[in-house]
Amino acid sequence: MDVLSDAITVMRAGRPHANRHELFAPWGMRFADEFGGAFHVVLQGSCWLLPSGNAAPIQLGVGDVAFMYGSGAHALADSPTSPLTEIDLRHQGVVWPSGDGAPTVLLCGAYLLDGRTAHPLLSEVPPIVHMPARIGRHPSLRAAVELLGSELERPRPGAEAIVPALLDTLLLYILRAWFEEQAESPAATGWSMALADPAITAALTAIHHAPDRQWTVAELGATAGLSRAAFASRFTALVGRPPLTYLTWWRMTIAAHLLRESDTPLRVVARQAGYSSDIAFAAAFKREYGITPGRYRVANEATGRADGTRGTERTPMTAIEIPQ
């Protein structure tokens, strides 16, 4: 496994949803404020993305991709002044009200993500990412958009399995494109550089492939092809925490995910998190979450799956646009 794939896997909650909308001006859709991810792709015509708060509207043209991450309501409309109708992105097969003016065709989708297990690399993703259409840039992302649009326009046998898979693929392509764009910046730091650094990526891949292994900094440095000291310094600078601190955090994140999403016995969860002693595992888990593994599981069973916003600081909806 790799770090980006794992980051999405542990955050995923439920199935993603998507719709293809054909709208005629005037029209406007306001989307609810909930923790997760949403995307909008313009297939025909144009529209305006309206962030919440005082952020400026963003005009979207054909081929543009807009991705919203985290908490924050937003809206789409043919004009910034058009009336808005409350919309739930998870509803499917609903025809939204519109007029008889200029047409716009959109792909809109939603992901419900659990903010309690947000990976630190996602903390660098802004609440709004605008990726204008550019010839030759991110062809895999464009291909995924075309495939998803085709499946939603003309559902065929297998669509029930294909569409969720394409949505997961599209999310990863969007995030990959954003991190690649950031890594190309002269001022790039943090996770965008970590994912572009072959040495640090090798170490992260090793950790994610075998989190239960009793890694040492020297072993991870050898995997990265660096001396122990050089590796520890570079890893800490880019990832934001020392190698073994990151390893422990990732083990606890895996454990929390298993406790919430499965009936795996506690002793097995402990082994998968790299602990041969149930007592040592319980102590490490309590240090991270403030509660024992057993009580954590019971609390989640009692309350059901949370909405993902607990423990996650809401970020104002400001936009970052990837330049043409």
Query: Binning pLDDT at 50, 70 and 90, where does residue 89 land?
Result: low
Q: What is the pLDDT of residue 321?
A: 38
Is the overall model pTM greater than 0.85, yes or no? no
Structural domain spans, the chain: 3-186, 197-303
Mean pLDDT to the nearest integer, 92-97: 56
Examine the pLDDT at 303 and tell me if it is beyond 80: no
Q: What is the pLDDT of residue 311?
A: 35
Examine the pLDDT at 92 and tell me if it is beyond 70: no
Sign of torsion, CA 90 130 144 119? negative
Which residues, other chains included, contact 95 with Cβ-Cβ below 8 Å and sequence gap of 6+? Answer: none
Q: What is the pLDDT of residue 96?
A: 62
| Beta strand segments in the chain, E | 17-24, 28-31, 36-44, 47-51, 58-60, 65-69, 74-77, 85-87, 103-112, 128-131, 319-321
Examine the pLDDT at 319 and tell me if it is beyond 80: no
List, in sequence order, every residue forming a beta bridge with 44; answer none if it has no partner: 105
Looking at CATH, the fold of the domain delimited by 3-186 is given as: Jelly Rolls (2.60.120)
Examine the pLDDT at 91 and tell me if it is beyond 70: no
Distance of alpha carbon 67 from alpha carbon 80, whole angstroms: 19
Query: Binning pLDDT at 50, 70 and 90, where does residue 75 land?
Result: very high
254-276 b/e (C-beta count within 10 Å ≥ 16 → b): bbbbbbbeeeeebeebbebbbbe
- Of 39-53, 55-69, 82-96, 199-213, the range with the lowest mean pLDDT is 82-96
Q: What is the pLDDT of residue 98?
A: 67
pLDDT digits (tens, 9 = 90+) for 225-281: 999 999 999 999 999 999 999 999 999 999 998 998 889 999 999 999 999 999 999
Distance of alpha carbon 49 from alpha carbon 39, whole angstroms: 11
Structural contact between residues 25 and 98, judged by C-beta atoms closer than 8 angstroms: yes
Q: What is the pLDDT of residue 118?
A: 84
Mean pLDDT to the nearest integer, 150-171: 90
- Please provide the average confidence, as pLDDT, over all residues in the chain: 85
pLDDT digits (tens, 9 = 90+) for 129-148: 999 988 778 899 999 999 99
Q: What is the pLDDT of residue 305?
A: 46
CATH of 197-303, one of 2.130.10.10, 3.40.50.11720, 3.40.50.720, 1.10.10.60: 1.10.10.60
Q: What is the pLDDT of residue 317?
A: 34
Examine the pLDDT at 124 and tell me if it is beyond 90: no
Q: What is the pLDDT of residue 322?
A: 40
Helices (H), 67-197: 139-153, 159-183, 190-196
Assigned token pair, 177? 């494109």
**DSSP conformation class of 14:** S
- Of 107-111, 237-241, 289-293, the range with the lowest mean pLDDT is 107-111
Distance of alpha carbon 69 from alpha carbon 294, whole angstroms: 31
